Structure 1
Amino acid sequence: MSRHQVEVKRMDYEYYLQGMPEFETERLKLRRLAMSDAEDVYSFCSNPNVSDPMTWETNNSIDMTNDFLRMVTEGYEKGESGERAIEWKETGQVIGVAAFIGWSNVHQSAELGYFLSEDYWGRGIVTEALQELIYYGFDELDLNRIDGRCDTDNFGSQKVMKKLGMTYEGTLRKNEWIKGEFRDTQVYSILGSEYGV
């Protein structure tokens, strides 16, 4: 692939992320985050049980949440933000975030990320949300591969990725410095050819 072709592919991803639609499932709406979501997002980002497996720190003030939301919302127009609020349709409350947190234009690959309010754990919500992003990634973004990663002791995330049809590829040993320690990371993936798009 020539450099020019790589640049065209990059422009395509920016275009698709800028125009990434809302998704709706039986229980959820996946939409852009807004500054007005700060109270909802702070309610779970301030919970250490939610933040501990993540690279980001527990939100000890709503100012930290506002900084995150400002970064994401400013990134939407640049094609740099793949985050979607997970909205519980019954109440309109934001209960989590699902996202494309990284992608390679050259290799046509992306990584999924998410975090969810502890009040909604164990109800299949993340699986329901990420299925929409996976389909979009393969069908609209023409991705070849989608990754998912988690701590070795994050059994909930491991279960989610298996339910999504992802294959466990191995463990990266002590590859990330998170909250004062090096942590192991399990890597899962699914290919477009396996997904059947």
Structure 2
Amino acid sequence: MQLPGDPRIVTPRLLLRLVRGDDLPALLRANGDPEVTRYLPYETWAGPDDAVAWYARMEGRRERSEALQFVLERTADRVVIGSALLFNFDEDRASGDVGYLLAREYWGHGYMAEAVEALVAFARDTLRLRELKAVIETPNTASAKLVMRLGFVPVATADGLDTWQLTIG
């Protein structure tokens, strides 16, 4: 799948743009918080080395057209408050996955709903995907409520994880 070179998605309060090296300190604050990462499929970052290794992996995935790793930058003050990822593209099915993370101090303000809704539109209109999936661990009720509000529906899977799917095209 051919991915756009430098996509930028603007919402009323956010700019979603590709991650850069200078975003790592803000992302380390979020990914270094065990409360933020407790439901994610990777360990809480222990320090800058983890951030640098993650960034290298994300850049490699982007270069191979496997993923688009965005940061969520508040437009009011240009502070990076989280990240979101479109990945696992299946060109034959016109599908992909979405994942996201938000620093704890920004929980409960609607930022992630705003960001994911914009990513859904981007996936449909720019990437021409017809389906998005989000995998959410069962205890993560806040994330399940978020995707449910955006129209995702639960689907049965063999792996025991809660998988939510949205038909978008």
Q: TM-score, normalised by structure 1?
A: 0.80
| Aligned twin of 1:163 | 149
Contact 2:6 2:17 in 1 (8 A): no
| Aligned twin of 1:180 | none
Instruction: Pick which of 117-126 and 76-85 moved more.
Output: 76-85
Which one of the candidate residues 67, 75, 91 is aligned to 1:89? 75
The total of aligned residue pairs comes to 169
> What displacement does 1:146 show?
0.9
| Aligned twin of 1:186 | 162
1:138-192 Cα offsets, whole Å, 9 max, x none, are: 122222211111011101100110111111224x46x3xxxxxxxx421111112
**Percent identity of equivalent pairs:** 24
Over the residues paired in the alignment, what is the CA RMSD in angstroms? 1.6
Residue 161 of structure 2: SS of its match in structure 1? strand
Contact 1:53 1:154 in 2 (8 A): yes
1:124-151 Cα offsets, whole Å, 9 max, x none, are: 1111011111111112222221111101
Residue 19 of structure 2: SS of its match in structure 1? coil
> Which ranges of structure 1 fall in alignment gaps of 5 or more residues?
1-12, 176-183
Contact 1:28 1:89 in 2 (8 A): yes
Which has the larger share of helix?
1
> What displacement does 1:20 show?
5.1
Structural mapping, 1:19-168, within 5 Å: 19=5, 21-168=7-154
2-side partners of 1:18 and 1:77: how far apart?
A: 11
2-side partners of 1:89 and 1:66: how far apart?
A: 25
> What displacement does 1:70 show?
2.1
2-side partners of 1:81 and 1:108: how far apart?
A: 14
Larger radius of gyration: 1
Change (3 A) 1:34 1:20: closer
Contact 2:67 2:88 in 1 (8 A): no
Letter in 2 for 1:116: L
2-side partners of 1:65 and 1:154: how far apart?
A: 24
1-side partners of 2:62 and 2:50: how far apart?
A: 19
2-side partners of 1:49 and 1:25: how far apart?
A: 27
1-side partners of 2:144 and 2:19: how far apart?
A: 26
Letter in 2 for 1:122: G
